Amino acid sequence: MTDEVDEIVAAWRRERPDLDVAPLEVLSRVSRLAAVLDERRADAFVEHGLQAHEFDVLAALRRSGQPFELTAGELCALTHVTSGTMTSRLDKLSDRAFVSRHPDPTDGRLVRVRLTPMGRRRIDAAFCALLDTEHDLLARLPESAREPLVAALRDLLLAAYARAGT
């Protein structure tokens, strides 16, 4: 069984036999898979009235445990966005009553963000939809292949982070 990456690699090997194009066999597939996952995730979130970046914020709060509260700065770090971007996202989530904001009781410079009951219901439903679509995709992969794949992808991600200095 072949895919489009096999065709691309074969064409490059034919046209540039002097180059080692082996990285394409892994990384072009990872790139294409990421695009498919982004689309499937967006579809799962849209069903619950969320965009991917809104899901990220609500999910970070939900994962934090009771009382489902973090500082705006912690949310920036967890979702890899600037404070200006986070402020805009929190404004919209607050307008929809998914989060509430209040000053930190010990440090007035900090803003604490709390998941509301409505926000918790929304993120829980969206997360279940996400898991359904991802379980469906992984069901096509033999169980015996999953653990080695997890390990290889973890190693690759850590190597990419190390190279980027993060």
Give backbone dihedrals phi and psi of 100, rounded to 5 degrees, phi first: -125, 155
| Measured distance CA(157)–CA(160) in Å, rounded | 5
69-82 tens-digit pLDDT: 999 999 999 999 99
- Domain layout of the chain by residue ranges: 1-46, 49-166
Q: Would the pLDDT of 165 be above 90?
A: no
Q: Is CATH 1.10.10.10 correct for 49-166?
A: yes
pTM: 0.85
